[in-house]
Structures are given as structure tokens and as C-alpha cells.
Amino acid sequence: MSEPQGSAPEAGDRFGELAVALGFSTTEKVTQALIRQMELRGQGTQKRLGELLIEARVLDLRTVQKVLLEQQRRRKSATGPAAVPEGRKFGDYELLSKLGEGGMGAVYKARDAHMTRMVALKVMNKSVAGNREFVERFKREAKATGSLNHPNIVSAYAAGEVDGLPFIAMEYVEGESLRARYKKLGRLVEPEALRLVKGVAAGLAHAHNSGLVHRDIKPDNILLGVNGDIKIVDMGLAKAMADDQRLTKTGIALGTPHYISPEQARGEKQVDHRSDIYSLGSSLYLILTGQVPFDGKNNAEIMLKQCKEELENPQDILPELSDGVVAVISKMMAKRPSDRYDSCEQLIEDLDLVLLGKPPRHAADDDAQVEKSSIRPAKRKVRRPRAKAGGGCMLVLALALLPAGGLALCKVLF
């Protein structure tokens, strides 16, 4: 089992991300600079992102210094105290234990005093509560989660503000994330992995049919309940498909580099539901093979590989994987969105077929699909042409009719 080398810093900590959040650049220009940085690195030249943005006349020295100062401030605040201490009341909620913490805030297991139920309470940190971009993202998550009602998506119960700190009260799932399960047990067997991805695809189908794209599907955002439930969480990057793309131009995050789609990595304005399908394919690749699809020393290198490199064939890592699952991953992770599944419903149909040991319908293992694939052909696998109907019977008949001693001649001829 391999852990990714490149790691994504907490939201708001990356230089390029901050430059966008502060309104000094666009996602597209930062992405172009990151790709240029990787190209130069391949030529043996090291340049900082800020320097490249100055050369491209996107930033000047003064704005670079402002971004660096803000970056330093946020790194210090991220090591400070949690959003609120455990064991105290927060509005109508009693905080019982901390489930997790990041740059934007913390998530607590809490008791709803009025409804007498357990909830997962996400509370924003004071250090970012005054940042308009982060507050908008937080509100967007509350709105997106609250608008969806599906057994494979965590429900939102309430949202509001206590003492100037925004919060979201969500369904509490007793269990662990897919990432935690993978780190603990390693890769999953094929049937288990396919059933799990099918559950996530069902939740995504509902979100997509409701006009929402998640944009950050990854093992961390998939919860596995002790009762077998499969739940999608963290709609913080969710975007309405009919938006005017303002979020893409002034937003603060693209997704997670190891699971991000090529169009997200390039900072394209038009990102639709097929980006979620790509990210889900990346997650399936990890839990089946035990390694991320693309890895690198830093986020820029990983994103560049997402855009340009072919994917190592899963059967070269794990030869026992079926042809069907490789075909499904190949279609899910095609570089061009037009070559991926048109919908999660199509994906679910193929997953059901592969689970039954049948070839997928929409990801046919034929020459046309191979040409569209972003996966390298398997090195270890030798494809043999199918025998013509009746060929086996004719061989048996020929052997039966041979005279004594004719078997040696048969071996030579065949």
C-alpha cells in the first residue's frame, strides 16, 4: 500500500490559491504558471510561482509580498486554538468530541438539545470567519447539502451562526472515511470496491440530476457507516451547473490534486458532472490497486501528469483484475470529458454488469474505446484472438480419426 507523495496543504495556504482568493489573479492564470513551473523544472530550472506570475505580468512585486504576508498569517493562525473548545455548549448543541480539523474549521460530534439526536457539527475557525471567500464557500456547502435528499449523501439539518462563527449541523455517521479504511486495511477486493463506488455513483447521480457538481470527490469525502451505509460528504466546492462561472474565476480551490480531473487542473471554466466521474474513477483506482493514479513531489507535478500522462494499466499492478473493471476505469478517467460516461446512471449499469461477470455495455473493450483510453495497454496481458465457432470440435474430431502414431504428426501440424 502506497501513500501519495505530494500533499495538498490546508485550504488557503497555497500561494496560488491565496492569490486567487485575494483577487490578484484567476485560477486559469495560476494553473498556467504552475504548468510552466513544472516544464522549467524538467529542464533543470527552479522558479517560484510568484516569480513566474510576475514574468507573466499577472502580479507585481507588491502584490506578491501581500500574498506572502497573508500566507504567513494564515499558517500561524492554523496552529492556534480550535474553533471552539470541546465539552461546552455551542448554541443549541453540546460538543462531545472533535472528529476532525482543517484550515477552515473543525467538525465535532455534538448532541442537539432540542431534537435529542447526534449530529456532526462543522464550525468555522475565527481566523477565517472574516474572509468573504471562505464564508461564501461555507454557505454554499450548507445550501448544497440542504437541497439534497438521498441515502448516499449526508443530510444537512440546520445552518446558522453563533458568536460570529458560522456552523452547519449535519447527519452524524458512525463509521470512518474511505481513506481511513484504506489506510487501515489496504486495497479492497474488486466486488467490494465496485459495490462501494456504485453507492457513491448513486448519490452523485442525484446531485447531478439536481443540477449540482461536487468537484471534490475523493476517499476523504466518502463515509462508510458501521451499518453498511455509503455517504458523500463535504459539498463545500459544489457548484450549480447553470452558474455564471463566477466561482471558477474568483474561487479558492480546484479540488484535490491526486483526484482532480484534467479540466479542473487546467482551470477551465466549464466543469460539469463528468469531472466528478473522473474523480470517482481516481478513487476506484486507488482502492483497487493500492496506489494513486498519478503521484509527484508536489501538487503542480501531479496536476501536470493528470493533464498529459497516460495512466499505468491497473492489470500491470494487479494482474488478477478483470478486463471489465479496467474498461470501466478507462472510461471514467478518459482525459477528454466527451470520452467519459455521459451520466452516473450509465456508470452504475456497467458496474452491475461487471459485478455479474459480464462485459460493460458503455465501456466496451474494443478498438474504438482503446483509442479514446488514457490508460496504457497492459504489459503482462497477452490478448488471444477468439477461436472460430466449431474450431474446437473439429480438432477433437481430427484427433479421433488419426491412426495410431498419428498424434506426433498432429503436434507438429498444430
Identify the active-site residue in 13, 112, 216, 339: 216
**216 tagged catalytic:** yes
Residue 332: exposure state from Cβ atoms within 10 A (0-12, 13-18, ≥19): buried
CB atoms within 10 A of CB 353: 17
Compute the residue count for the chain: 414
What is the set of active-site residues? 216
